[in-house]
Chains A and B, each alone.
Chain A
């Protein structure tokens, strides 16, 4: 079991969600976050050049069984990328091993609880 954490652009949330649902990955957690990576894209707002400090992003957390890791990751990459070549600021995906997963309602553990 793996925990996939993806940080994506706010504006891409719907595209990514639709793509995930299409591939039958329907259990996700979404969190609004702020942060910065490489992105230093300048905006012009009220006539001023602005380089945002902390940039609002959306974080997705998806717990998956091992067979689903590739499809989930590929789906996110394809839907969260800006245009075809992508742009700085499109985000990152982290995959971490997950020790246990428990469904609270039944107390089931492991892969079938996901």
Chain B
């Protein structure tokens, strides 16, 4: 009976496929409307993560800094998008230039060359806008490391330079077809949706920036209570939702690999969240809302590079490992005393490194077989892939750290990055924006 059912099912599918040949949804320009629809959705979902991040970070800072902190995310939406359209996309996905440091093609300036381009059924415009969202969120993530103590002008110049000099080259190396990390080892360094490009680069840059700029005034003696954890929880929720676009969209497909990435994403986020909750309950006696949210992020960050290659059990494991290591990282931070204000390094850096390296142990068999078939000897082991992953992680760390330090020094010495003491005490909102996030609490 069971066999019969399955056979009927297979025949039906076959028949459907035969007849569907002519009717596969297409608009006549070679656009696969099914895939394109999901990519459009994903693009919007990733964009949604940025207001999500603004809320997550905004809720964690003191009342006097809430708007300034949210503006760090929103300003990135403006600045990075404009740069992306003018030449950022070309730097990331154009052909190798300057020995492969980044890509470049005059044709891609202002996205002129892709007006009618369609690749694998998806208009290049959609792919470009999808990728552009990653270029926005990455510098916005760094802002968590130096929250509450930078001038707005310095920040704006910093992210522009950082996007051009750190993000674009890294993105080119890892995701462009001629990027050197894309071609490392048998089947490339695995970075499905941005473990190295987004999270490790942002996390390490945040760490460098936090140490270079020094701690907030009064840290760690003065209490710096979160202005609004409700905002933070909404933000964390939006990040989780948006991450489906981030990871499942990174398949640039609407098929089996999309489903695999989506499932891994959900599993890792949930595992990370409950791991953090359990550890914290035993360690501190209470399960905080912020802890749960941090666990969600740790899981999501760790599965980001891995979503395309791990099965649900591997995703659960990555969530558990990442949440545990991030929890420890934050304890160590408090011991060391540097002020990574909102744990951009503690969660994104540590989670990203954990995911990019540990994923080697959970790769699904079919991927390894495919990788082996691409080598001359016909074999490819977990250890070999681990080597590739570690190399990719180290390259991202070193590159991001060195370039960030240079950019920090240049910006700080020329227009000033660290907020003057007076402005820091007044708060970013009043100093740099002339507004009050929570003014409505007063009669006026």
Which A positions have Cβ atoms within 8 angstroms of B?
10-12, 14-15, 18, 32-34, 43, 45, 52-56
Contact = CB atoms under 8 A, between A and B. Distances in A.
A12 B100 CA distance: 52
A54 B434 contact: no
27 contacts: A10-B64, A10-B436, A11-B64, A11-B425, A11-B426, A11-B427, A11-B430, A11-B431, A12-B426, A14-B425, A14-B427, A15-B425, A18-B218, A18-B425, A32-B441, A32-B442, A33-B442, A34-B444, A52-B444, A53-B444, A54-B442, A54-B443, A54-B444, A55-B444, A56-B436, A56-B439, A56-B444
B228 to A, nearest CB: 15
B430 A10 contact: yes
Given A11-B64, A11-B425, A55-B444, 7 more contacts: A10-B64, A11-B431, A14-B425, A14-B427, A33-B442, A43-B434, A54-B443
State the main secondary structure of chain A at its contact with B: mixed
A109 B431 CA distance: 43
Given A10-B430, A43-B434, A34 B442 contact: yes
Interface of B: 64, 217-218, 422, 425-427, 430-431, 434, 436, 439, 441-444
B219 to A, nearest CB: 13
B370 to A, nearest CB: 58
Contacts of A34: 442-444
A11 to B, nearest CB: 4
B398 to A, nearest CB: 38
Contacts of B441: 32
Nearest to B421: A15
Nearest to B429: A11
Given A18-B425, A53-B444, A45 B430 contact: no
A53 B444 CA distance: 6
Nearest to A33: B442
Contacts of A54: 442-444
Contacts of B444: 34, 52-56
A15 B427 CA distance: 11
A71 to B, nearest CB: 21
Nearest to A54: B444
Contacts of A11: 64, 425-427, 430-431
Contacts of B218: 18
A28 to B, nearest CB: 14
Contacts of B430: 10-11
Contacts of B431: 11
Contacts of A52: 444
Contacts of A53: 444
A34 B443 CA distance: 6
Closest 3 CB pairs of A and B: A14-B425, A11-B426, A56-B442
A52 to B, nearest CB: 7
Contacts of B443: 34, 54
A32 B440 CA distance: 12
A52 B443 CA distance: 11
A19 to B, nearest CB: 10
B383 to A, nearest CB: 54
Nearest to A43: B434
Contacts of A56: 436, 439, 442, 444
